[in-house]
Amino acid sequence: MALKRLRRELQLVRDSPPSNCSAGPIHDDIFHWQATLIGPEHTPYSGGIFRLLIDFPLNYPYKPPKIRFDMPVYHPNINDRGDICLDILKKAWSPALTIVSVLLSISSLLSDPNPDDPLAPEVAQVLRTNPHAFMLTANEWTIRYAR
């Protein structure tokens, strides 16, 4: 089941790639993918190219993929290991979701961080107390790590 679904999703990504992301298997391993996201415009991540690693479980799509950034990202919902705090990757997962919809949700998280549900509490505190400093640091990290 997972293999058939992943092949179909890969074909969809290749036939109709979203404008701000790409994804595909690493070394032809259909259960391990790499993805890239282009930083959303009008955010401190604009202009960045962000790499993600995706591991699909054998019971995909009934269980969510494990996705993490493969580079440092200054964001309250992304920790120093690249783990992402996003409800659809945990309790709100649905088999109806596709990897493209998940990547678009991660892109949306870059545009709209949630300091009330942080994986990086210190970054969330900066965002809450000094949004300008948050924006500057996030942009500096984007320039340093995502270009």
pLDDT in tens, 68-84: 999 999 999 999 999 99
How far is Cα 60 from Cα 43, in angstroms, rounded to an integer? Answer: 32
Report yes or no: 112 and 42 within 8 Å, Cβ to Cβ. no
Domain harbouring 103, CATH code: 3.10.110.10
**How many domains is the chain built from?**
1
> Is 85 annotated as catalytic?
yes
Q: Which of 37, 73, 84, 85 is catalytic?
A: 85
Could you report the per-residue pLDDT of 109-127, keeping only the tens digit for each?
999 999 999 999 999 999 9
Domain range for residue 46? 2-145
**What is Dmax (Cα atoms) for the chain?**
48
Can you give the pLDDT at residue 114? Answer: 96
What pTM did the predictor assign?
0.95
In this prediction, residue 19 has a pLDDT band, given cuts at 50, 70 and 90, of confident
In this prediction, residue 21 has a pLDDT band, given cuts at 50, 70 and 90, of very high
Tokens of 92: 């709100």
Can you give the pLDDT at residue 91? Answer: 94
